[in-house]
A and B are shown apart, each in its own frame.
Chain A
Amino acid sequence: MILGTNLLLDVLKIFNYFKQISIFEFASFNNYFLFFVGFSFLLTVINALSILITNNPVNAVLHMVLCFVIGSFFFFCIRLDFFGYIFLIVYVGAIAVLFLFIVMMFDIKINKTTLSFMKFLNDYFWKILIMVTTYFFFIFFIFFNFENLIQLKSTLSKTYPLFNANLGEFLMKCNKCFYNLSVNPLINNLESKINIYNAPLIPLFRFEENNLLHYLNLIKLYNEYSILLILSGVILLVGMIGSIVLAMSTINVNLDLNLNYNTTTAVRIKRQELIQQFNRHSKISKIFFKKK
C-alpha cells in the first residue's frame, strides 16, 4: 500500500511539474541565447539545402536527421519540452533511422558529378582552414569565463610578477568586445549597456533541483558525474576511430620503402554483395572440400 501511494504521489508531482517548469530554463534574451538561435537558424537552412543537393541518399537522410534535431532544440527554447522530445524520439529515433536502414540495403549507384562547392573547398582548402580555426579559437575562449581566474589572481597576488602572463586579461578583453558588439538591439539605453558590460555571465542551461530528471535520479550522470560522461565519450571516439583505422584496407601500400607520393590513391571498402551471397550455388561452396 505504502509503495503504491508513494508512486501515485510521484506521478502526480511529475504531472504538476510538467505544467510549471521546463528543463532548459533560459535566461531571458541572453547573449548566448541570441548567438545560439542565430547559429542554429543558419544550420537548419544549410541542412535543408543540402538534402536537395546531395547525390548520396544516405547523406540526405543524415541531413534530415540534423534538421529534426535542431527543430527539437527550438521547441526546447520556446518551453515546449514535450514536442521537443517527440521530435527527437519519433522522427529521429524511429523514422529517420528506418529510412537509413532501407537506403543502405539497396545497392544504389551514385552519379559522380562533383559540386562546384566542393571544388571551391578543394582549391581554397588551407585558407578556409585558417579562417575557421581562428574563428573557433576565439569562440572557444569566449565561452570560458576568465573573470574568475583574474579575480583569483588579483586577490591572491601581491607584486610577484615573475610569470605575469597576461593571456587571461587579453581574452577577457576579447569577451568584452564581444558583448559590446552583440548587445540586444531592442535595448539602446545607456544604463542597460553599462549593466551588460559589467554583468556576470548567466549560464546557458540551468539544471535545477526541482527538475523532472533530478526527481527521477537520472540527472546525476549529467550533474555529479559529468566528468565520467565526457571521458566515456572520448573512449567511444577512440573505439570508433581505431576500428576504422585498423579495419580499412588501402591499395598501393607495399612493403617497398621507396614511395612516390604522386601515385593515384584509392580507398578500398569491402562491399557486401547480397544477391550473390543469397543465390550462391552449392557447387561453389564445395570448393573448400575439394582441396584436400
Chain B
Amino acid sequence: MIFSITFFKKIFSIFLFNKPLLNFSKKKNLLFAVSSAFIDVDLLGNVEIWGPRDFHTKYFTFFNDDLTFLAGDLFILWIISILLIFGAFNHVRKFHYTVSQYLIKLFVILLFFLSLIYFQFLSIFENTFFNFKIVLFNDMLILDLNTLLFRFFSIIILFFCCIIFFNYTSKYFILPFEYLIIILTSVFGMFWFVSSLNFMVFFVGLEAQALSFYILSSIKKNSNASAESGLKYFVLGAISSAFVLLSIFYFYLHFGTFSFYDLNMISSNILEYINGMFQFSSKNIEILYDDYEDLTSLQIVNLLLKYTRMGFDLFDPVFSEGARHSLYIILREEAIENVVYLHYLQFQIAFIFLCTSFFFKISAAPFHIWSPDVYEGAPLPTTQIFATLAKFAIFCVLLRFIFLFNFLDSDFTLINNFFRIVIVSSIIVGTFHALMEQRIKKFLAYSSITHTGYMLFGFANGSFEGILGSVSYLIAYLLLNCIVWGFLLIYKKNQKLIVYLIDFSNLLNKNFLLALSFLLIISSMAGFPPFLFFYLKLKIFMSSGDDFLLFLIIAIFTTISAFYYLRLIKITFFEQQLFSKNTGRVELTPSLSFSVVLGTYLMLFLSINPQIILDLSKFFIISLNYNFI
C-alpha cells in the first residue's frame, strides 16, 4: 500500500517538473539502504530503508545482515574449495596431470547454481523498479542493478569460456585443474572491484584479478611463448597498478578521502563553482575547505608577493586600515578561486592517472603494446578471457567513475582531451597493424584494439546518448568474442590450432554452414550495413555532435578497416587450397557447434531488432545515475 502511493507520487513528480524533486547525491543517508527491511517514507515519497545495523552499530553479526546479500560471491569461494579438494584427489589417478572432464562438468553445474542465486537477487530489483541500492560493510561495497547484471553476464561469458576450455583440454593440450580455480579467483576479484565504493577494496580487488591473470597467461609450461607472455604481462601490469596507486595517493593528498561518495560531492561542488552556480552553504564549504585557513594563509602570502611585484605596496602608510581590510577580503576571494582551480586541476590529473591504468588493461592504443604478444603466447581460453571478461569488468568500473565524478556534460576539459587522444590513436594503430598481420590471434588482438577505440568514442563527448551507444557496443562485442575464438579449434584430425589466416582457406568446401556462420560473424564485426555493428556504430557516430574532425577521422578509418575483414572472407570463400595439409570435411564437436549456432542466431536476431541491446544498456546505466530517482 505504502509502496504504491510512493510510486504514484514519484511518477507525478517526474511528469510535473520533468525533474526529480530531491538530488540523491546531496543526501547521503537516503542512498544507504541496509540489509534487513525497516522502511520509512518521507512526505515527498522517498523510500528510506533502515537496517538493524543503524540502530545498534555495536554488533557485527556473521551470517545475518550483510553476508546474505553477498551469498552469491561467497558461493564462489565455496566452489573454489570444493574444486581444490576433489581436483587434488582426482587428477593423478586416472588421467594425465590435467583437468578431468568430470570436474569441468561439475564446475558448469555449480556455475548454474550461482547464476540462480543472482537471478534471485535480480528478482528483488525487478520489484523495486530498478532504483534500489544496497550498501554493505560500512560503505565498502554497493549492490546495484549494474553490478548484479555484470555478475549475471559474466557468468554467461564463463559458460562460453568453459565450452572452449572443454574442447581445448580434451583434444589439444594439457592444462592443470588449478586453471578453473584461478579463473574463479579472478572473477571474484572482478566482482568486488566493480561493486566497490572505496579505493581500498577497489585496489585489492584489482590486484586479485591481475595476479590470477598473470598465472593464467603463463600456465602452459611447455611453450616458451606462454612464459614470455606471462612475464610481459606481469611487468606491464605492475606498472599499471603503480599508476592506480599514484592516482589514489593524489586523491587522498588533495581531498583526504578514500570513499567514492565524498569524491562525488567534491567534484559536483567544483563544477558548480566553475559554472558560477555554487552556493556557499555550510555543508559545501565544510566538504571543500576542511583545511581552509591554512591554505588561505599560504595563498595570501603568494598573492601579496604578486601584487608587490606589480607595484602595489600594501604596507605603505598611504593605505588606511579600512582599505587594507577590503583588499584583504578581495585577496581572500581570489585565494578561494585559486584553491578551487587547483582542486579542479588536481582532480583531473588524478583521474587521468587512474584512466591510464584502465587503458593498460583494456589495451587502448598508447598502452596497447603488451596485448598482441600476450594474446599470441597465452593458451586459447585465457586469450578469450582477456578479450571478454577483463574488458567488460574494467569498462563497468570506468562507467561507474564517469557517473560518480559527474563527467557527463561537464567542463573537465583535460580528461576529455585525453580520451580523444586515446580514441584516435587506438583506432589508427589497430587498423594499420591489422592490415599487415598474418597470424590470426594477433589479427584479432588488433581488431579488438580498434573496437576499444569505438567503445571509448561514446565517452569522448560525455553525452548520455554516446555512453548508451558505447555500452551497447560493448555488449555486442562480448557476444561476438565469445564465439570467434572458438573458430580456432576447428581442425580435429590434425590436432592443431589454426595459427595463420591462410589456414582458413577453402572452408566453403569443407563445411558450408560453418563458413556461412563465419561470414556472418566477420561481416558483423566489420560493420557492414544489415548487421548488428552497423547500427551501433551509427548510434555512436550520431552522438559525436560538434566534433566534426573526430568524426571524419573515424569515418575514414572504418572504411580502411573493412578491407582486412573482407580479406578474411575472401580467404574462406575464394582462396584456392595453397597448402594441402588440411583436407577432407571439417566437423565440429557438439559443444562448439552449440556455441557457434547460438551466437550466430543471437547476432542475426539482434541485428533485426537492435533495440533490445539498447534497452539492456539502459538498465546498465540507470542505476549508476545518482541524480536520478
- Chain A residues close to B by CB (< 8 Å): 121-122, 125-126, 129, 133, 136-137, 140-141, 143-146, 148-149, 151-153, 155-158, 160, 162-165, 167-168, 201, 203-209, 222-228, 230-232, 234-235, 237-239, 241-242, 244-246, 249-250, 252-255, 257-259, 261, 263, 265, 267
Asked if residues B63 and A241 are in contact (CB atoms below 8 Å), the reply is: no
Q: With A and B bound together, what is the CA distance between A190 and B63 in angstroms? A: 28
Chain B hits for A255, CB < 8 A: 222-223
- In angstroms, Cα B123 to Cα A167, docked, is 11
Q: Top 5 A-B pairs ranked by shortest CB distance? A: A157-B127, A148-B36, A242-B215, A203-B61, A163-B123
Asked whether A257 and B127 contact (CB < 8 A) given A148-B35, A148-B36, A237-B185, the answer is no
A-B contact count (CB 8 A): 180
User: Is B182 an interface position by the 8 A CB rule?
Assistant: yes
A265 touches B36 (CB 8 A): no
- Give the Cβ gap from B166 to chain A, nearest Cβ, in Å: 15
Proximity bits, B98-123, A CB within 8 Å = 1, else 0? 00001000100000010011011011
User: What's the dominant secondary structure at chain B's contact region?
Assistant: helix
A selection of 6 A-B contacts at a CB cut-off of 8 Å is: A125-B89, A156-B37, A224-B137, A238-B182, A238-B208, A245-B215
| Residue from B82, B97, B113, B126 in contact with A267 in the complex, judged by beta carbons closer than 8 Å | B97
B90 touches which of A125, A155, A163 (Cβ 8 Å): A125
When distances are taken between beta carbons in the complex, the residues of chain B under 8 Å from A151 are: 36-37
- CB of B612 within 8 A of chain A? no
How near does chain A come to B81, taking the closest CB pair, in angstroms?
9
> Interface residues, chain B, CB within 8 Å of chain A?
3-4, 35-37, 39, 58-65, 67-68, 71, 75, 77-78, 80, 82, 84, 86, 89-90, 92-97, 102, 106, 113, 116-117, 119-120, 122-124, 126-128, 137-138, 140-141, 172-174, 176, 178, 181-182, 185, 188-189, 192, 200-201, 204-205, 207-208, 211-212, 214-215, 218-219, 221-223, 495-496
CA distance A172 to B222 in the complex (A): 50
Q: A144 and B89 in contact (CB under 8 A), knowing A163-B123, A246-B221?
A: no
Residues of B within 8 A of A152 (CB): 36-37, 124
Contact A265 B82 (CB under 8 A): no
Max chain B CB contacts within 10 Å: which of A152, A223, A224, A225? A152
Bound-complex Cα distance A165 to B102 (A): 29
Cα separation A230 to B176 with both chains bound (whole Å): 25
Residues from chain A with a CB closer than 8 A to the CB of B61 are 203, 206
Given A153-B127, A155-B39, A265-B92, do A165 and B120 touch, yes or no (CB 8 Å)? yes
Which chain A residues lie closer than 8 Å to B92 at the CB level? 265, 267
Contacts of B75 in A (CB 8 A): 140
- Bound: A208/B59 CA distance, A: 6
Task: Point out the residue from A144, A155, A249 that lies within 8 Å of B68, measured CB to CB.
Answer: A144
In whole Å, how far is A49's beta carbon from the nearest beta carbon of chain B? 20
**Inside 8 A of B176's CB, which chain A residues have their CB?**
245
Q: Given A140-B78, A152-B124, A155-B39, is A145 in contact with B63 using a C-beta cutoff of 8 Å?
A: yes
Task: List chain B residues, Cβ under 8 A from A224.
Answer: 137-138
Q: Which residues of B contact A126 (CB under 8 A)?
A: 102
Partner pick for B219 among A149, A162, A245, CB 8 A cutoff: A245
Interface centre among A143, A234, A237, A257 (most CB of B within 10 A): A234
Is there an interface contact between A153 and B123, defined as CB atoms closer than 8 Å? yes
Q: CA–CA, A237 to B215, complex, Å? A: 12
Knowing A155-B39, A231-B192, say if A149 contacts B63 (CB, 8 Å): no
CB nearest neighbor in A for B181: A241
